[in-house]
């Protein structure tokens, strides 16, 4: 039964190809906003706290600090309003959900960047 539902969901939802990112990554989301009859793109840059769900129901939470106030946004990965996602940094964290990041301020809120060993 689950496979039938999953197959129907995959057929009905339009999936775009996004780069791989996980908790701890710093990403920039190009988000389309409609205001009246005008349309504009808003950039939302922050740290990914978690990815949750699978397939059409997958979401991710992004957190940023805007004028000393923490702002979190939960975004469905299959949202038609996402134009593109850019991965700025890949963070090196040991957990899949980094909610402890909410209490951190200043230098304590830094995440080490994952080093890649290219030849």
Q: How far is CA 96 from CA 15, 17, 52, 61, 101, in A?
A: 23, 21, 9, 12, 12
Q: What is the mean pLDDT of residues 18-39?
A: 92
Give me the pLDDT at residue 119, please: 60
For residue 104, give the DSSP letter.
Answer: -
- Is 23 within the bounds of a domain? yes
Q: What is the pLDDT of residue 64?
A: 92
The total number of structural domains that make up the chain: 1
State how far the Cα of 23 lies from the Cα of 79, in Å rounded to an integer.
Answer: 19
Does residue 3 fall inside a structural domain?
Answer: no
Mean pLDDT calculated for residue range 49-66? 90
- Domain-embedded: residue 59: yes
pTM of the model: 0.81
Decide if 80 is inside a domain: yes
Question: Helix (H) and strand (E) counts for the chain?
Answer: 1, 5
Domain that holds residue 50: 15-99
What pLDDT score was predicted for residue 16? 79
Residues 69-99 pLDDT 10s = 889 999 999 888 999 999 999 989 899 999 9
Cβ atoms within 10 Å, residue 118: 4
| 109, part of any domain | no
- H or E segment to which residue 47 belongs: strand 38-52
Q: What is the pLDDT of residue 46?
A: 94
What is the token pair recorded at 66?
């805007």
User: Does the residue 47 lie in any domain?
Assistant: yes
- Residue 38 domain flag: yes
- Whole-angstrom distance, CA of residue 46 vs CA of residue 61: 9
Q: Distance (Å, rounded) from C-alpha 14 to C-alpha 3?
A: 18
Q: Report yes or no on 24 lying in a domain.
A: yes
Contact 67, 24 (CB under 8 A): no
Q: CATH number of the domain at 69, please.
A: 2.30.30.790
């Amino acid at each position: 039964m689950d496979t039938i539902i999953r197959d129907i969901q995959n057929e009905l939802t339009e999936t775009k190809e996004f780069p791989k990112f996980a908790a701890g990554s710093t990403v920039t989301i190009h988000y389309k906003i409609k205001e009246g009859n005008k349309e504009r793109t808003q950039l939302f840059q922050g740290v990914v706290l978690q990815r949750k769900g699978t397939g059409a129901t997958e979401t991710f939470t992004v957190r940023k600090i805007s004028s000393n106030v923490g702002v979190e946004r939960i975004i469905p990965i299959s949202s038609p309003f996402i134009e593109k996602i850019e991965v700025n940094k890949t963070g090196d964290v040991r957990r899949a959900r980094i909610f402890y990041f909410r209490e951190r301020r200043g230098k304590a809120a830094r995440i080490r960047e994952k080093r890649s060993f290219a030849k």
